[in-house]
Amino acid sequence: MAIVCRRCGRQYDVTLFQFGRSITCECGERLPRQAETRVGMEQAEAESAGVGYLTPVTDEDLLLYVIRHGQTVWNKSGRLQGQLDIELSDDGRAEAARVAGALAGVTFEAAYSSDLKRCVETAEIILSGRDVPLFKTPALREEDYGEWAGKNYAEIARRWPEQCAARERDRANSRPEGGESLGEVQARVTAKLDEIAAKYSRGNVLVVTHGGPAFVFFSKVMAPEGKLKGNFSVKNCTINVVAHTRFGWKLQSLNSLSP
């Protein structure tokens, strides 16, 4: 697929337009890209998640590269980690190294990470050899699962059937025993990312967090009224890009293996 300059007719391959950033033709005409954002996603998953079309962004906008941490042994066995401080597995470290290679050509102004070990180590692997400041913050932690932490889904459903049913009815406001709701996670994560956007008005910032915070923030981006929508999950060590433009937050890619 090619983008054609309206002024002189020159053609440019769409791969030159990183996430909708415009380039300038040899004749001086600026060429914004507008193309489908189904990078790394099957069509049905994209439609279910509510991802439709790339919003054109410019060099004046901010791009957040949001990465879910690499895999842990608990991820593989299906145990909820929540805010328990579980470290990466060897597979998770290999995943983070792959992301480091994929993002080698991206210059970051700064990086932010959940202060839990699995995120910090993922960020450190991605940033290895770079002079990029890394800020660790509890605002990007996983949901506090309370009594559910350390349990698998089958045990949770058996021991807390009423709470599980309440969560199905109201994903935003129900909470595990002793934990927090997804609505509360969405509020703290969105506040932190809005703060980052206010500090860095343009360029690229790396954000390493967890599956829950990434899901609720992307839901907020796709449904500004805050509804937790979409039947999708954010996979370990995939590359997800969100642009902060004059129109607000816009999701650019989901579960991609390359920038």
End-to-end CA distance of the chain: 18
Distance CA 122, CA 224 (A): 29
Residue 145 confidence class, pLDDT cut points 50, 70, 90? very high
Tell me what pLDDT residue 47 has. 43
Q: What are phi and psi of 156, to 5 degrees?
A: -60, -45
Identify whether residues 129 and 19 lie together within a single domain.
Answer: no
Q: Provide the domain limits for residue 189.
A: 36-256
Give the model's confidence band at 23: pLDDT under 50 very low, under 70 low, under 90 confident, else very high: low
Q: Do 83 and 57 share a structural domain?
A: yes
Q: Are residues 52 and 23 in the same domain?
A: no
Rounded (10°) angle between helices 211-222 and 182-199 = 80
- Pair (107, 171) in one structural domain: yes
* Statement to judge: residues 16 and 115 lie in one domain: no
Q: Report the alpha-carbon angle 198-203-207, nearest 5.
A: 70
pLDDT bracket for residue 35 (50, 70, 90): very low
- Do 168 and 60 share a domain, yes or no? yes
Listed residue (238, 214, 196, 212) closest to 103, CA to CA = 238
Number of domains in the chain: 2
CA dihedral 189, 97, 102, 59 (to 10 degrees): 40
pLDDT digits (tens, 9 = 90+) for 46-103: 444 444 444 567 778 999 999 999 999 999 999 999 999 999 999 999 999 999 999 9
Residues 18 and 133 placed together within one structural domain of the fold: no
Higher-confidence position of 15 and 207: 207
Same domain, 134 and 27: no
Q: Does one domain contain both 42 and 169?
A: yes
Question: Do 27 and 49 lie in a common domain?
Answer: no
Same domain, 218 and 119: yes
Q: Domain check: are 6 and 105 in the same one?
A: no
At residue 113, the pLDDT reads 98
CATH number at residue 57: 3.40.50.1240
Catalytic residues: 69, 142
